C-alpha cells in the first residue's frame, strides 16, 4: 500500500509528496488500499468528470488507469468507450493517450468508440487530425444547426458533403 510505503520512507520530502494519495489524504480513497479494487470484470465503467476537474488527483489516477488498461489490452476483443469525450480532450495527458490509442489499439484487437455532443470539441482539440484520420466509421446524429455557415464548415471538415449535412 502507499500508506505502508510512506511509513518505510526515509525521506520526509517523499512522504509529504505522497501524503495526499495515502489513506486519510485528500485522494487516498482513489489510489491506496490493501488490495487492488479495480478488478478484472468483463465490463467496467469509470465516471471521470469529477476526477478530470480535480487537478491534484487527475495525473496520478490517469497514469494508474492507463497502466491497468494497457495490461488488459492483451489481444482479446475489447471495446473501449470514451463517452462525453470532450472532457478528455481538454486534458493534454488524456488527449495524448487517446491519440496513441487511436493509432495503436487496433493491433491489440481493441475498438474505440469516441462520443461527444459537439463536433467543435473535436475540431478544436490538439488531436483532431488523429481522430479524423483514425475513426473510419462515424455516426453523426441529426443537428438542426448543421446548415448554418459556421457549423457547416465543421461538418465539411469531417468529410461530409452538402447532401449529408442537410440530412
- Same structural domain for residues 60 and 129? yes
Domain extent, residue 128, equals 46-136
pTM: 0.79
Q: Which are the contacts of 79, defined by CB distance < 8 A and separation ≥ 6? A: 110, 111, 113
Residue 144's pLDDT is what? 93
Q: How far apart are CA 51 and CA 34, in angstroms?
A: 22
Residue 91 and residue 32 in one domain: no
Asked, for residue 149, whether it belongs to a domain, the answer is no
- Contact residues for 51 (Cβ-Cβ < 8 A; gap 6+): 30, 57, 58, 61
Same domain? 118 vs 63: yes
pLDDT band at 1 (very low <50, low <70, confident <90, very high): confident
Q: Find the mean pLDDT for residues 41-70.
A: 89
- In the chain, how many domains are there? 2
Same domain for 116 and 53: yes
Q: Helix 55-72 and helix 92-104: axis angle, to 10°? A: 10
| pLDDT given for residue 17 in this prediction | 93
CA gap 6, 20 in Å, rounded: 11
At residue 5, the pLDDT reads 93
Amino acid at each position: 500500500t502507499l500508506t505502508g510505503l510512506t511509513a518505510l520512507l526515509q525521506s520526509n520530502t517523499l512522504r509529504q509528496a505522497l501524503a495526499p494519495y495515502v489513506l486519510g489524504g485528500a485522494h487516498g480513497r482513489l489510489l491506496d488500499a490493501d488490495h487492488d479494487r479495480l478488478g478484472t470484470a468483463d465490463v467496467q465503467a469509470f465516471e471521470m468528470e469529477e476526477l478530470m476537474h480535480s487537478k491534484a488527483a487527475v495525473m496520478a489516477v490517469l497514469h494508474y488507469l492507463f497502466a491497468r488498461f494497457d495490461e488488459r489490452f492483451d489481444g482479446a476483443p475489447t471495446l473501449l468507450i470514451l463517452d462525453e469525450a470532450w472532457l478528455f480532450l481538454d486534458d493534454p495527458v488524456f488527449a495524448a493517450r487517446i491519440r496513441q490509442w487511436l493509432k495503436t489499439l487496433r493491433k491489440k484487437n481493441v475498438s474505440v468508440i469516441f462520443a461527444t455532443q459537439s463536433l467543435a470539441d473535436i475540431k478544436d482539440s490538439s488531436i483532431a487530425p488523429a481522430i479524423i484520420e483514425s475513426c473510419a466509421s462515424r455516426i453523426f446524429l441529426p443537428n438542426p444547426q448543421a446548415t448554418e455557415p459556421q457549423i457547416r464548415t465543421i461538418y465539411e471538415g469531417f468529410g461530409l458533403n452538402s447532401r449529408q449535412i442537410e440530412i
